[in-house]
Amino acid sequence: MKQTLVLFLILGAVAAAPAQKVADKKTAPAKKAVPQKSNAMTVPSDAVLVEPGRWKHTDAKGKIWMYRESPFGIVRYEPEAVSVVAAADTGMTVVEEGDSVRFTKPSPFGPRTWTRKKAELEGDELLTWNKFLEEKAAAAAAAPVGNAKPASGK
């Protein structure tokens, strides 16, 4: 009987110990929140809205900046930097279909194909279309005229 009584006293003391620690934590004073410095970029107030979600701004030094709203916040970039990247080989193929152009571009999920009117081309599409026209003109200039046969080595 004494052993059972001692066992219950020990178990009661062990069970009460965590409750005291929780009570001590509740009475501890709360720490004051320190305001975080925000590094989020904002669009300048004198920026011009080019289209929804895009702004154009000229800074004090005369440099032109574009601002774009992205899922991660506002992004600032130079328009020239985008043009240089877009001027590189885009990997697109072009097929002329009357007054429209069909583009195909490889993607991780398979080829992506879309059609756009020639008058509505912009960005990579316009660069790819102009490159296509240059290559087409160069091929036409290099092609033999009429029924002339290419010279053979025999």
pTM, two decimals, is: 0.37
Whole-number pLDDT of residue 150: 57
pLDDT, block means (10 residues), the chain with 154 residues:
75 66 57 67 90 90 90 84 45 84 89 91 87 84 65 54
The residue type at 77: Y
Radius of gyration of the chain (CA): 35
Whole-number pLDDT of residue 82: 40
Q: Give the residue among 38, 35, 56, 59 at the shortest CA–CA distance from 47.
A: 56
Whole-number pLDDT of residue 87: 40
Return the residue matching tokens 């240089």: 84
Whole-number pLDDT of residue 57: 93
Distance CA(90)–CA(96), nearest Å, equals 17
Q: What 8-state DSSP symbol labels residue 62?
A: S
